[in-house]
Amino acid sequence: MKFELVIVGAGPAGLSAAAHAETLGLNYLLIESSAAPANTIQRYQKGKHVMAEPAVVPLRSDLRFAAGTREAILGSWQSGLDELGVNIRYNTEAIAISGSKPNFELTLLDGETLTAESIVLAIGLQGNPRRIGVEGETDRSVQYTLDDPDEYRDETIAVVGAGDAAIENAVALARNNTVIIINRRDEFARAKDGNLALITRAIEDESISCFYNTGVASIEPAVAINLNTETGETRIPCNRIIARIGAIPPRKFVESTGIRFLSDDPTTLPELSSQYESNVAGLYVIGALGGYPLIKQAMNQGYEVVEFIKGNTILPADHNILEEKFRHLPYGRDVDDTLAIIRNNIPLFENVNGLVLRELVLASELLTPAKSDVIFHKNDYTNTFISVVEGEVEVETDSGNLITLGPGQFFGEMSLLSGRRRSATVRASGSCVLLETPRREIVKLMNSYQQVRKVIDRHFIVRTLRAGLVPDAPQSELEVVAETAELLSFRAGDVLFREGDESNGLHLIRNGSVSVSRNIGGRSIVTTYVAAGNYVGEMGLVGEAKRSATVTATVATESVFLRADIFQTMLSRNSGLRERIQTKVKERISENLRMEAAPDAGDLISFLMQQGLGEATDVLLIDETLCIGCDNCETACAETHDGTSRLKRAAGPSYAQVHVPTSCRHCEDPHCMKDCPPDAIRRAPNGEVYIEDSCIGCGNCEQNCPYGVIQMASAKEEAPSLLNWVLTGTGAAPGQRQPAAATTAIKKAVKCDMCKDLSGGPACVRACPTGAAIRMSPSDFVNLTKKAS
C-alpha cells in the first residue's frame, strides 16, 4: 500500500501528527506496536494526574490536551481520534525502513511492506520490549507487559527475567497465582535491594519457585514452556508466560534507517533540521526521541511536522516566547536575526545544529546588566553557564587581579563542572548582553558535541590551574599544559593511586571527592577527605618519589591529571608554586599526625564517606548522645512544608554515635537533576537543591536519587491554628495532617529545600529541643572527629 505519509508510534507526537494529517486531508497511516494509543501514559497508575508543562507554550494540535487525570486525557484523545476518524493500525511494529524520498519502504514485523513518500518517527525513548528469542515467542500466551497483576487469578504463570520489572510482576502475581520465575543467571544481581529482598524471601517461602541458570528453549502454544536447566530440559505447563527482559533502545533501529546522531553518547540526539527533518530527506523525527520529552511539546511538533511536510511554512509554537525573551535586547525584534547574532558572536555555538541552539536559547535567559552589576558572587552555589554575546565582564580573581572577558567568551564552567561554589565574583564592566544557560542544557550540548566539550574542558583546566596553583602564569603556558593534561574518571571506590606507588603526577579533583588513607600499624586509616577544586598527589612530587598515601574516590569522581614532567616544568617556571605546594604538604603532614594519634576518627570519616557524603554539600546529622527521639525535627519539617516531612529521623545508619538520617544532602552533582523532563530541579545560590512548581510528578528524580530522600506527595489539609489546637484539641496535631481529599490525585516530588524560604534557617535544626540535629558541610567532618577521638 502506498501512502503520502506514514507515522510510526502513537504517542502524543504521533497522535497529534496523524490528527493533523487527517485534518489536512493527507493519504497517511499511523502505526503503533501496542494495542492502544499512548502506551506510556496507559501504563501510568490509575488516576495519576498528568501535567501540561511548559505552561508558557500554547498547545497547537487537533487533539485536546490539558492537565488532568490519566483517564481524562486518554479519554479526550480517544474521542478526538474517533471524531476525526484517524487512520490508525495497532499491534503493528515497524522493523526496517529502506529506500529514499518519495519511495520509502517500511517493513512490518509480520512481513508486510508499506510504501510512503515521507515517514515521521515518533517512537519515543522507551523502545520495544525485548522478545524471548525462541520459537513461539509471539504466541498469544506470551506477553511482554503486565498492567494489572490482580487481573489474573489461580493461574500458573511463568515469569521470564531477573530485573526489577520481572521481580515486581512475579511478587505481585504470586498473591493469587502459582508463579515460576526463570532466571538466566545464578542470582538476581541486577535488582534493586528492596526487590532483591522481596524475591529472595518469596523463593525461601516457596511462594514463588525459581529456576536459576535456566534459559527458555521453546514455547508450546496453549501452553507450556520448555526450559534448558542445568540438569537438562524441563517442560512446564502453564496458563501464561510473562517476559520482562528489558527493552531494545530505539537508537539502533533509528540508525538502521540511515539517520545520524550527533555523537556516540547515549543521551545524544539525532541530527535534525529546524523542520524536524533528519539527514535522510523525507525522514522526520519528533517527540522524546528528538529531544522533546514533554507531552505538549511533542503534540505541537506533531502538528508542525505535518505542516512542514505539506510544504507550508509556519512559525514554531515557541516563536512568541522567544520574541518576548528578546524584547529588551538592543537588536530590534526579529527572532531569527537575534538567534543569528547569538550564533555568530559565540564561537562555541558555531557548529551547533539550529534546532538545538534554538532549544538552548529558549531555556536560557538573556541578561542585560548595567555597568558594575554583579552577575554572580563568589561562593554562590549557582551552576548556570554564561556566554558573553556583547560587551565585557570582569572576573575578580583571588589575587585581586581583574580578568576581562569579551564577546564570544564564557564563564561559569567551573561550578558547572565541579558542582561547587562559584570561585570568583563576576561583574559587568559596561552595558552588555549575556546568555545564561541552565546546567542541563549545557550538559546536553556537551554530550552531543565533542568540540563543545573539548573547548569547555580546556578552559576549565586553564582556569583551575590559575585559581589553585599558578595565578601569574601566562595564558600561553597554561594552554600548553591544558593540552597535555588528561581527564580521568573514577567510579566510587576506585583508587587514584596507592601508597608506595611511583609518583607520576598530580590530580586536580574536578568533581566528586576523594579520601586519603595511610597504612598505620597494619591498618588502613583515613586521614582526610579532599573535595573537588583541590589537588592530591603533591607530596610525592616535591619530596620523596613514592606516594605517601592511598587516594580513593568516595563517589564518582573526575580528575585532571598533570604528568610529573609537566609539573616539574611548571615548578621551574613559576617561583611561587613551590612555596604553595610546600604549605599544602605541611598541612597534610600535620593532618596525618593528628589522625595517627586518633585512628578511630578516621573510621568515622570512612563511615560518612560510605554513606555517599563525599558528594554532599550540606548534610543533616544527628548526635545520638543528645537525640531523645522526639521527632520534633520531622514534625517541624512537615509543618513548614505542606504537611509532608522530607526527612526520616529514625531511618539511616549510625556509627560512633553519629546518625545519618534519610534526608537530602544537596549533592554537588545532584543525581535527581539528571532526568527531569520540565527541568524543575534547580540549585539556589546558597546551595539548596529544590524542586519548582513546574514538577510534572513523573517520579524520575525519586528513582534517580540513590539516597531515597525524594518522595511523591500530595498536598495536605490546611494546618489548624496552633493556639486553637493547644487549647481545644480540635484539628490535626502538629505533624498529623492528612492528605486533602480534593487533591489526592496530584502528586509531586518533594524533598528538602533547606527551608530556603524561611527566615531563620532549617526548621529541623531550629526545632530540635536538645541540639542533636545539625547541618554541616563535608569539609567540617573533621570537627566531628575531634569528638570521636
In whole angstroms, the minimum distance from the beta carbon of 229 to another protein comes to: 24
In whole angstroms, the minimum distance from the beta carbon of 653 to another protein comes to: 6
C-alpha cell at 43: 501504563
In whole angstroms, the minimum distance from the beta carbon of 726 to another protein comes to: 6
Question: How many Cβ atoms sit within 10 Å of the Cβ of residue 154?
Answer: 8
Maximum distance among all Cα pairs of the chain, rounded to whole angstroms: 83
- Strands 2-8 and 113-121, how do they pair? parallel
In whole angstroms, the minimum distance from the beta carbon of 588 to another protein comes to: 24
- CA 29/CA 87 separation, integer angstroms: 6
Question: Strand pairing partners for 28?
Answer: 5
Question: Strand pairing partners for 550?
Answer: 517
In whole angstroms, the minimum distance from the beta carbon of 175 to another protein comes to: 17
Strands (E), 166-290: 178-182, 208-211, 215-220, 224-229, 232-237, 240-243, 247-248, 283-285
Cβ atoms of residues 421 and 379 within 8 Å: yes
> Which of 275, 654 has the CB closer to another protein?
654
In whole angstroms, the minimum distance from the beta carbon of 422 to another protein comes to: 28
In whole angstroms, the minimum distance from the beta carbon of 621 to another protein comes to: 8
Alpha helices in 217-334 (DSSP H): 250-256, 295-309, 319-326
Question: How many Cβ atoms sit within 10 Å of the Cβ of residue 597?
Answer: 9
> Which of 430, 629 has the CB closer to another protein?
629
Tally helices (H) and strands (E) across the chain. 23, 43
- CA-based R_g, the chain, Å: 29
> Which of 38, 647 has the CB closer to another protein?
647
In whole angstroms, the minimum distance from the beta carbon of 768 to another protein comes to: 6
In whole angstroms, the minimum distance from the beta carbon of 641 to another protein comes to: 10
> Which of 585, 776 has the CB closer to another protein?
776
| CB within 8 Å of 402: residues ≥ 6 apart | 394, 395, 396
Grid look-up 521527632 returns: 631
Long-range contacts of 567-575 (CB under 8 A, 24+ apart): 567/505, 567/506, 567/541, 568/541, 570/469, 570/470, 570/473, 570/477, 570/481, 571/542, 573/473, 573/477, 574/469, 574/470, 574/472, 574/473
> Which of 474, 769 has the CB closer to another protein?
769
Site residues (CB under 8 A) for another protein? 201, 204-205, 623-630, 632, 635-636, 639-640, 650-655, 657-659, 722-723, 726, 734, 758-760, 763, 765-772, 774, 783-784, 786-787
> Which of 10, 774 has the CB closer to another protein?
774
In whole angstroms, the minimum distance from the beta carbon of 776 to another protein comes to: 9
C-alpha cell at 38: 499512548
> Which of 430, 769 has the CB closer to another protein?
769
> Which of 476, 783 has the CB closer to another protein?
783
In whole angstroms, the minimum distance from the beta carbon of 787 to another protein comes to: 5
> Which of 372, 625 has the CB closer to another protein?
625
What does residue 600 show for φ and ψ, rounded to 5 degrees? -65, -30
Cβ atoms of residues 41 and 24 within 8 Å: no
In this structure, what DSSP letter does residue 55 have? T
b/e map 273-283, b = 16+ CB within 10 Å: eebbbbebebb
In whole angstroms, the minimum distance from the beta carbon of 743 to another protein comes to: 22
Which H or E element spans position 655? strand 654-655
> Which of 80, 602 has the CB closer to another protein?
602
> Which of 4, 624 has the CB closer to another protein?
624
> Which of 412, 643 has the CB closer to another protein?
643
Cβ atoms of residues 633 and 649 within 8 Å: yes
